[in-house]
Amino acid sequence: MHMADALISPAVGGVMWAASAGLAAYSAKKVQADLDESKVPLMGVLGAAVFAAQMINFTIPGTGSSGHLGGGLILAALLGPYAGFLVMASILTIQALFFGDGGLLALGCNIFNMGVYSCFIAYPLLFKPLTKNKFSSGRIFFGATIAAVIGLQLGAFSVVLETLFSGISDLPFGTFVLLMQPIHLAIGVVEGLITTAAITFVWKARPEIIERAAEGKAYGKLSMRKVIVGFALFAVCTGGALSWFASANPDGLEWSMFHTSGKEELEAPGGIHQALAALQEKTAFLPDYGFKQAETAVTETETGSEETWPAVNGGTSLSGLLGGLLTLVFAGMIGAGLRFMKKHA
């Protein structure tokens, strides 16, 4: 559900940038209350794991579409909503800057759509009341599935509204929303299952992490070794090899755009859109999670035979490993910086 700049006007993009930046600043202030040395490495490794997981699109049977994990609910459940939001913002920023996934103008929209609803609505207003902080496998499954579905529905509807208010595309509101909501309902169910698995793993290994995150308490001297090693191995294996098995079908947003307008990608207007596209082309050293190709090679690929599956590709593996490492460092630096500020306040 990473929006491209072609859907967003400068006005809408600017407003959403301001909203997301304001929420990030507020979250940074709030997260200092329960931030300790145990949470900082967990922020980094969870960011790397979610980055890697987002590289794997899973097929939605019978639709010709695919979806990928959002991960915001996992981050909120294990880190708390404020730290979870900061990590999600880190992931999306790394993706946009270095891998060309989501536009720079639309970055504020993407952070809001994938971070705010999962961390500040789906988690505190749905997951926590549904589990009632009395965790069990059944409660986690029920709470995670309902929260993931609702959070994704809100995010998908926001994409439609932001596109509508921008008014720079020819996507009719009625058709677009009638395609976006059902396909993201199916994606939300799968996300709920994946979220259940991740939270259940931590609950069985270290239930205190989930309990203290729910209560807004510091982790103290809890041993994080098993959890950190588990998510680190997941990030390496997923980004380095399992990413080859991602579905080649368009994701829910691209699928909805295609069935609405006949195009999976829309042409962006000039001006600020072109300037930001040129900037992103320079910063994205592994565009679309692969090595840069010459125009002739791209043309041959587009007109050649169908792609093989699994798509064994060194560029994809490097993107998964390097992207995970960048996210780990970036999210870890945010945590360490806030920890330093708290100590010297």
**What mean pLDDT, rounded, does the chain reach?**
92
Q: What is the mean pLDDT of residues 37-64?
A: 94
Burial of 269 per CB tally in 10 Å (0-12, 13-18, 19+) = middle
Q: In terms of C-beta distances under 8 Å and separation of at least 24 residues, what long-range contacts does 128-133 make, across chains too? A: 128/214, 133/211, 133/214, 133/215
Domain 5-262+285-343: CATH class, spelled out: mainly alpha
Q: What angle do CA 343, 323, 294 make, to 5 degrees?
A: 145
pTM to 2 decimals?
0.94
Residue 268 has pLDDT above 80, yes or no: yes
Compute φ and ψ for 60, nearest 5 degrees.
Answer: -95, 105
Least confident piece of the model among 83-97, 214-228, 316-330: 214-228
pLDDT at 295: 56
pLDDT at 307: 66
pLDDT at 2: 92
SS3 label, residue 219: coil
Grade residue 204 by pLDDT with cuts at 50, 70 and 90. Answer: very high
SS3 label, residue 262: coil
Grade residue 101 by pLDDT with cuts at 50, 70 and 90. Answer: very high
Grade residue 177 by pLDDT with cuts at 50, 70 and 90. Answer: very high
Least confident piece of the model among 6-20, 102-116, 286-300: 286-300
Percent of the chain with pLDDT over 70: 96
Residue 301 has pLDDT above 60, yes or no: no
User: Domain extents for the chain?
Assistant: 5-262+285-343
Residue 304 has pLDDT above 80, yes or no: no
Nearest to 85 by CA among 76, 93, 77, 94: 76
Residue 297 has pLDDT above 70, yes or no: no
